[in-house]
Structure 1
């Protein structure tokens, strides 16, 4: 299979360039690709954003995509690295799901940059030519959303929590700036935000139905989960972390409440937002409940002792440090969020 790639460069810094996939124009032969390259289809598909220059375009054999592991019948997971986003991983630091039905494909989360979204698209196309009908974003955080524009360009509907569109508009610029700083201008080049629709309750991919649940404020204010009815696979987004330290950006007490409701879904397997990639419901819930419970108990004790925020965050939940990766990056913020919430109960 052949694909079309264009080279885009920063107008202000023309030495900073990145080859960018034009998705949806793949062909079986180089000759067919060259014909597309010289026709109207390519002109209608390549939009050069403000501040970018188009240097050249060419055909090439389809590059390798992300690694996808089949965890159930036609259910695939890409396991993101348990790292902070950087120029090497380009934001490939969260899990991604792909579910293939009889008539279309759904994608659950898309990684933290256009580069990850392109690699995801290639991986899907190497397995199926069915249309990608839906991209489901499980919450607002940038490591899950910034690959979505690639799939949207092929006609996929991008959907999420009813509050996701507003939350993205509020945080968009800080997320774009922050992830560009982490990944670097070259690796982040071409990354664009998307404007999601409100999530549907069900999505029919042909022969399998996905059920979407919208949750009250927990990990964030915008959490949803996806259950594949055909296999009982629950994509939990960041309501479940595994190995990677949980990140609190919503409500500690709300998160604990949501976790108490998870067993009612009766999943056969759980895909967390980080780690795993496949857990039983007990493996998913036990470490999460323990960490969040310690976070709550230590915070309440600090408040009872009259500690100021600056004192409390130095020790709250530190007993959990050896149980999680990236603990120093996330626990202090979690302690701050917990203290602020419980202080005003």
Structure 2
């Protein structure tokens, strides 16, 4: 695929400059703990929980990559407070400028920390469909965050529009360190983006890879399986999942997710072939996967329902 990205027009940058103008940094807690999974590649592993006041939105993996000239953030965390703590963690390890904040997709547990990086005036980089997807749900995300964490924490939540959007492939240079970004077709969501650190062959998969925690289908289960096939060809030796350990061997790390999604497709198709209902599918499909996944009871019914609607029209 040819390189493809869009740099926003001056008017869009002016609007973002207005956000910078009226923003001030609050006091923060301790820096996020991070693991250096490869030289210059730092990952914070989120908890396998739903967002609440106790975890403050710290439920997804996030981190950063340090080049000779600059730093790239890969996902900013599930709240402004987590974003601030991630920014503090960067400053523990380097004083190089934060040039990019890359969002792997629009889900709030990965993107609500963006506001913390406004003082650095980075380019915010995302899939071409990221802004529309986030804008459509931002009010819901803000209300859910308010309900879970509290109004004071939610007051800082806002949409930070991307200044660079990726429609296909794009390379970012941190100074002798090149990151390869790929915008994928509909899979986990309709705006999934991956990042490959070419120096260490570390693939940041975002939520195209769940490990340990039950996945969430918010796009297309068939598209997700096709994307996992395509991702297996990426020249990576390790992967940073959106949820799970800080890193794992690639492509072996996708085995559990591939099996689960395949079981959902197989099970739903069988129920539909037998003229069963959505409720029958929810009650039975992939039920024996429960011991293998955290939060399974919260996510499997939604996944089966989403797959039923998609596969009904095959």
Give TM-score scaled by structure 1 length: 0.81
- Is 187-196 or 211-220 further displaced after alignment? 187-196
Matching residue within 233, 237, 240 for 2:209:
240
Larger strand percent:
1
Which secondary structure does the structure 1 equivalent of 2:233 belong to? helix
Superposed, which structure 2 residues align to 1:1-345 within 5 Å? 47=23, 64-196=30-162, 197-199=164-166, 201-345=170-314
Which secondary structure does the structure 1 equivalent of 2:182 belong to? strand
Cα shift at 1:191? 2.1
Alignment root-mean-square deviation, CA = 1.7
Between the two proteins, the alignment pairs up a number of residues equal to: 292
Residues 101 and 301 of structure 1, relative CA distance in 2, 3 Å threshold: same
Cα shift at 1:63? 5.0
Give TM-score scaled by structure 2 length: 0.89
Unmatched runs of 5 consecutive residues or more in structure 1: 1-43, 49-56
- Partner residue of 1:9? none
Which secondary structure does the structure 1 equivalent of 2:105 belong to? coil
- Is 290-299 or 310-319 further displaced after alignment? 310-319
Counterpart Cα distance in 2 of 1:222 and 1:152? 22
Cα shift at 1:263? 1.9
Unmatched runs of 5 consecutive residues or more in structure 2: 1-19
Which secondary structure does the structure 1 equivalent of 2:284 belong to? coil
Counterpart Cα distance in 1 of 2:21 and 2:131? 25
Counterpart Cα distance in 1 of 2:276 and 2:63? 43
Cα shift at 1:153? 3.1
Contact 2:172 2:179 in 1 (8 A): yes
Q: Show structure 1 runs of 4+ deviating over 2 A.
A: 44-48, 186-189
Cα shift at 1:97? 2.1
When Rg is computed on C-alpha atoms for both structures, the one with the higher figure is 1
Counterpart Cα distance in 1 of 2:228 and 2:251? 11
Contact 2:35 2:246 in 1 (8 A): no
Name the structure, 1 or 2, with higher relative contact order (CA <8 Å, separation 6+). 2
Which secondary structure does the structure 2 equivalent of 1:153 belong to? helix
Contact 2:76 2:112 in 1 (8 A): yes
**CA offset digits 1:248-288 (Å, max 9, x no partner):** 00001000001111221121100100002111124322101
- Is 237-246 or 123-132 further displaced after alignment? 123-132
